Amino acid sequence: MGMFFGPKPDIKGLETRSGTELNKIIIELKRRDNARFLNLFNYYSVEDPSLEEVLIDSSCMNLKAKTSNVYISPHEWAFLDVLSRITYFSQFSFMEGLTLQDKKILFSHNILRVGLLAGGMRTMQEKRDKMLTPSGEDVYPDVVHRLFKNSSGILNSICTRVVGRLIELQVTREEYLLLTLIFFCDPGNSFDFSREASFVYSYFPFAVIVRKIKASFMEK
């Protein structure tokens, strides 16, 4: 991802320096991620809305309770995972101050890399070395394998390198959750945001904490 990884700062040290505010953020992130995880595994949808439609009204997904006889394909798992993350991040208060266009920019730039990071983290927690769907299948649908039939090593590399790096760095769940927060709440990654969105980011409490976290990593 273009990052330099030096010695890891102690997450407990970060909590000590930032006080209870950071600790509360970590607890809240865990609570929200637990809820996201439960919804991902217990509900599904047969709808196929656009990103804009979901951002306007997520109920357009018409989620249904998942039963044992429901088969979820790799493509559908990927789509449901994206939906779960849109729902997860849309619950943060700063999203209320963003226009629809700003939200589309935010999710378009971040959702895939956060999804790849999350897939790697889930794989590491499941003690595997290659990414699979939550139901244990290849993450790539057949159409992708056909596109890369002469260079399948690229697909295998994507499925294993992220996991290997996370294992090597011994990334904790707390660090993973804070990293996803950095992706979405770092005002330095403003892309083509409107002036109003940049103003919202500069005063959003999580964004302030993110800057402190990044600064502590840079000091190491």
At 58-93, the pLDDT tens digits run: 889 999 999 989 999 888 998 999 999 999 988 887
Distance between CA atoms of 126 and 167, rounded to whole angstroms? 12
The pLDDT of residue 156 is above 60: yes
What average pLDDT does range 140-156 have in this prediction?
76
Q: Which CATH number characterizes residue 81's domain?
A: 1.10.565.10
In a domain, 183, yes or no: yes
Name the average pLDDT for the chain.
79
Percent of the chain with pLDDT over 90: 20
**Which of 176, 171, 12, 36 is closest to 92 using CA atoms?**
36
In a domain, 106, yes or no: yes
Question: Helix 195-203 crosses helix 205-219 at what angle (to 10 degrees)?
Answer: 70
Comparing 149 with 87, which gets the higher pLDDT? 87
| Residue pair 78/138 in contact by the 8 Å Cβ criterion | no
Residue showing tokens 């409490």: 205
| Dihedral Cα 141, 147, 150, 153, nearest 10 deg | -50
Helix (H, G, I), strand (E, B) or coil at 40: helix
Cα–Cα–Cα angle for 168, 172, 176, nearest 5°?
Answer: 100
In this prediction, residue 1 has a pLDDT band, given cuts at 50, 70 and 90, of: very low
In a domain, 3, yes or no: no
Distance between CA atoms of 84 and 88, rounded to whole angstroms? 6
Helices then strands, counting H and E runs in the chain, come out as 10, 2
In a domain, 2, yes or no: no
In a domain, 5, yes or no: no
Instruction: Output DSSP code: residue 200.
Output: H
Helix (H, G, I), strand (E, B) or coil at 45: coil
The pLDDT of residue 17 is above 90: no
In a domain, 1, yes or no: no
Helix (H, G, I), strand (E, B) or coil at 43: strand
| CA 69 centroid distance within chain | 28
| Dihedral Cα 59, 62, 66, 71, nearest 10 deg | -120
What is the count of structural domains for the chain?
1
In a domain, 6, yes or no: no
User: Which residues constitute the domain of residue 103?
Assistant: 11-219
In a domain, 44, yes or no: yes
Residues with Cβ < 8 Å from 139, sequence gap 6 or more?
A: 74, 77, 78, 119, 131, 132, 133, 159
In this prediction, residue 215 has a pLDDT band, given cuts at 50, 70 and 90, of: low
